[in-house]
Amino acid sequence: MKKDELIALGIDEDTAKTIMAMHGKTVTTLNSQLSAVTAEKEGLQEQVTTNQTELDALKESAKGNEELTKQLADLQAKLDDSKNEADTKLATQQKEFAIKLALKEANALDESIVLGLLDKETIKVTDNGLQGFDEQLKTLQEGKAFLFQAQQEKEPQVPTFATGGNPKPPSGESNPFKNAINKYI
């Protein structure tokens, strides 16, 4: 979404700047969350590399001791399981953040509700973006349009103000209050 696109839709420049600032805050928040997860992933990968190096050194020193070799093999299996679990968890978080960012850009009113309606298993994170996401999003936008903010506003609604006092009766009618009083006079 760009400021020029909003202006082309008929929104004045000050309002467009305000909208872009609000959109920027949301995107910045999601990007900071993604950066935190990426930093955590890199830290865990570094930790796994360090542990693997230490484990390999222990294996070398344990040659000839069968019991110690067996314990090291068990530790290696646990390390591999932990690494796979951490990678899966981080990939899931990265996918969820990418989907939430895409939903925010698609003007979803409540990302968590729309996220629950998506089949996340079919969505893949690639270098080109989210594969399989656009089709699901389009289906939701057509079938459940109330979950998304309208892209274009027809005409801005201008409030109407009435002057003080009693309203005038519609043309051609006499004053109903006067008629009611005249019945009793």
For residue 105, give the nearest of 130, 124, 125 by alpha carbon: 130
pLDDT of residue 2 exceeding 60, the answer is: yes
H or E element, residue 64: none
pLDDT of residue 64 exceeding 80, the answer is: no
Residue range 62-79: average pLDDT? 80
CB 101 within 8 A of CB 88: no
Extract the tokens encoding 3.
């400021």
Q: What percent of the chain has pLDDT over 90?
A: 1
pLDDT range class, residue 170, cuts 50, 70, 90:
low
Q: Tens digit of pLDDT for each residue in 40-58?
A: 888 888 888 888 888 887 7
What confidence score (pLDDT) does residue 171 get? 59
Extract the tokens encoding 75.
């530790």
What confidence score (pLDDT) does residue 147 get? 85
Cα angle: 134, vertex 140, 144; to 5 degrees: 160
pLDDT of residue 157 exceeding 70, the answer is: no
pLDDT of residue 104 exceeding 70, the answer is: yes
Residue range 87-113: average pLDDT? 86
Cα atoms in the Cβ-side hemisphere of radius 13 Å centred on 104: 17
Give residue for tokens 């000839």. Answer: 64
Query: Any alpha helices (H) in the chain, and if so which ranges?
Result: 3-8, 13-61, 66-105, 111-117, 133-143, 176-184
Mark 111-136 as b/e (b = at least 16 C-beta within 10 Å). Answer: beebeeebeeeebebeeeebeebeeb
Contacts of 105 (CB under 8 A, 6+ apart): 1, 27
For residue 79, give the nearest of 104, 56, 105 by alpha carbon: 56
Extract the tokens encoding 61.
């020193």
